[in-house]
Structure 1
């Protein structure tokens, strides 16, 4: 079984099909999917707004946790029966997925598959931004845009664990959830800039911004001297009807303007970074770190709900409604 996105539109464009993945080739393994995630990337793919997405029809699904059922030629370090995780970008909403063997990461024994998949792409994204891009440290103050989302909830926890004070935007209904993670909530429907300046008059040391668009200018102005703005998405541009690359080209132009200001002596040491999560050795290393934190009880990937894989469209509807805290997990039938 697989879930196919047949064209541009809404969740109704998802259809269940009886087809499945082929046998693994050289350097590949075939994985029986136990759990997969629903992410904002799939929301963007509905409107053909995601960078380099395949042509319709295709199978979405950004990440997965499953069991290796077949091993192709020239594969080492992965065996039949191994429980693994992988970020594939698209194609995870199947009962079986063929993955490059060097892109799978062992899932520790005792770690629930749904929790593991909630920590996979979201966990690596948050971990790399906190520990490699910004290098958050004790005594700093950071702002997390979308602090109740799949990545945002993990950003809050990791930054708090690093000793930072964390301000996080969320709807009023999710403020208690943000507080429970150690953050200080700010209503994103209100004047965010005024609220941040009231809480941190000298500015913040870092802003994690998944909104893109006009939000980037405001985020940059909220930085303290020497602060860093990290942009890792363009959620605010979802309803635009232009080419998917346009928002990213605008971001490049804005970042170029910020850097020109630095060259002209107006930047006050502030920096900008664009982050994009990608599979590979650094992803694998980061995911191992994330899983260790989850097993130790030091990181909790919140799960909003678990749905059968066949109900992927409902998962997208829930995410698009904006009432989700954490991750929506899709679970494949254990009989598949």
Structure 2
């Protein structure tokens, strides 16, 4: 097989969105255990926004191609890979490298995508779906009939969390701005204004506290999230958005958060606090891959059945990734901004 020319979006350093570069690179034929995927969709998540600022906790050195996940079609496979995989639509977690027209990936990392989902719809359920599913059911272990608080219920992970919870009979309170109130309520959550007194608004709905809080904000507000827990409740922290514009060591806010969670877990208050790291179990690669496949497949099945509705905020061509980043960072959208293949690709 001849080489394939891939169009890539390169993050050259700490730049504004318009500083992203559109480049091309030659990819070799798939090696043993690999598959070549023609990328149809990738997403703009908070991780890429932080990487642009040089503030993502364990990002690689500049320059690199961002893109936390992707959906595409397998066009070729290497040795030791089932040849029937060619022509199949698949999804993959990549952490970096997803903003490209073609990607060489380990075939073991590919998860089948139901035919009833288009690429952009499926993309919204890859990293967002895995994150939401694992936080809800593997970390917090929330049960039907319980009540949870989801911060940023209009966002990519937040809107998926709301839908997964509601599909399983879990009551949801979701924070968002007033302009997104209707969208949050349409997902099945009780909306509260994040600009108001959140603890007071939550206590008015659930005086005894909630069974779990999902907090991507961090900063001083994390204390309110913990105090809103009912006895035996669980706080799941998965980001530090409140400190995204802070200067200085990018690891410091996360380390401070870790320290606070440890303090809370040492208290005899029957409540627990966790930091969710999607990649934490990768040391056992086989187990990690099996969990990703199992959980992503469950989310895809729910979406294919209509129990989850894809929240595609916009579909923007790959070569216009700068515009996609700007829109995602504007805080004006519901759901996820998806980068799609250029029409001429």
Could you state the TM-score of these two structures normalised by the residue count of structure 1? 0.95
3-state SS of 1:18 partner: strand
Does residue 1:210 correspond to 2:216, yes or no?
yes
> What CA distance in whole angstroms lies between the structure 1 residues aligned with 2:265 and 2:137?
23
Q: CA deviation at 1:107?
A: 1.0
SS in 2 for 1:304: strand
One of 305, 310, 317 as aligned partner of 1:296: 305
Q: In 2, Cα distance between the equivalents of 1:216 and 1:78?
A: 48
Q: What are the Cα deviations for residues 221-266 of structure 1, in whole angstroms up to 9, with x where unaligned?
A: 010111000011111110111222212211111011102212xxxx
Report the counterpart of residue 332 of structure 1 in structure 2.
Answer: 341
Aligned length: 331
* Residue of structure 2 equivalent to 1:145: 151
Q: Does residue 1:60 correspond to 2:66, yes or no? A: yes
**CA displacement at 1:77 relative to structure 2:** 7.4
What is the aligned-residue RMSD (CA, Å)? Answer: 1.4
* 1:14 partnered with 2:20: yes
Distance 1:228 1:99, change over 3 A: same
Unaligned runs of 5+ residues in structure 1 are none
C-alpha distance in 1 between matches for 2:85 and 2:297:
18
C-alpha separation between the residues in 2 aligned to 1:230 and 1:105? 26
Range with bigger deviation, 38-47 or 70-79:
70-79
Q: 1:313 aligns with which of 322, 326, 330?
A: 322
Given that 1:65 and 1:83 are in contact with CA atoms closer than 8 Å, whether structure 2 keeps it comes out as yes
1:102 is aligned, of 79, 103, 108, to: 108
1:233 alignment partner, SS class: coil
User: CA 1:78–1:91 in structure 2 vs 1: closer, same or farther (change >3 Å)?
Assistant: farther
TM-score (norm 2): 0.92
Aligned to 1:270: 271
Matches of residues 69-88 of structure 1 in structure 2 within 5 Å? 69-76=75-82, 79-88=85-94
Is the CA contact (8 Å cut-off) linking 1:7 and 1:56 kept in structure 2? Answer: yes
Instruction: Point out the more displaced range, 275-284 or 185-194.
Output: 275-284
1:254 is aligned, of 238, 247, 260, to 260
Is 2:52 the counterpart of 1:46?
yes
Question: How many angstroms apart in 2 are the aligned matches of 1:22 and 1:42?
Answer: 26
Structure 2: which 5+ runs fail to align?
A: 1-6, 280-287
Confirm or deny that 1:157 pairs with 2:158. no
